[in-house]
Amino acid sequence: MAKSIINVDGMACEHCVKAIQTAVGALSGVSSVAVDLEKKTVTVEHVPEATSLDTIKNEIEDQGYEVL
Ligand SMILES: [Cu+2]
């Protein structure tokens, strides 16, 4: 299990939090998704062999947010 902290811009409200949690949480091997609006971070616990960090970043960008 890996813990990745991703810097993300464009998250503004609870809707953004939900959108990211739902989309990233649906990826296989992801066990938790925590969004910190103030710090602009998304912390993901995942099995790297199932879902890589790049896959998670792509999913966040697909949702309309900018990975920094
Ligand atoms: Cu929002």
User: From ligand 1's centre to the CA of 19, what distance in Å?
Assistant: 8
User: From ligand 1's centre to the CA of 10, what distance in Å?
Assistant: 8
**What DSSP letter does each residue of 6-49 carry, written as one string?**
EEEE---SHHHHHHHHHHHHTSTTEEEEEEETTTTEEEEEE-TT
pLDDT digits (tens, 9 = 90+) for 15-62: 999 999 999 999 999 999 999 999 999 999 999 999 999 999 999 999
Say what the pTM is: 0.95
User: From ligand 1's centre to the CA of 49, what distance in Å?
Assistant: 30
Q: Which residues surround ligand 1, an ion (CB under 5 A)?
A: 12-13, 15-16
Q: Which pLDDT band holds residue 3 (cuts at 50, 70, 90)?
A: very high
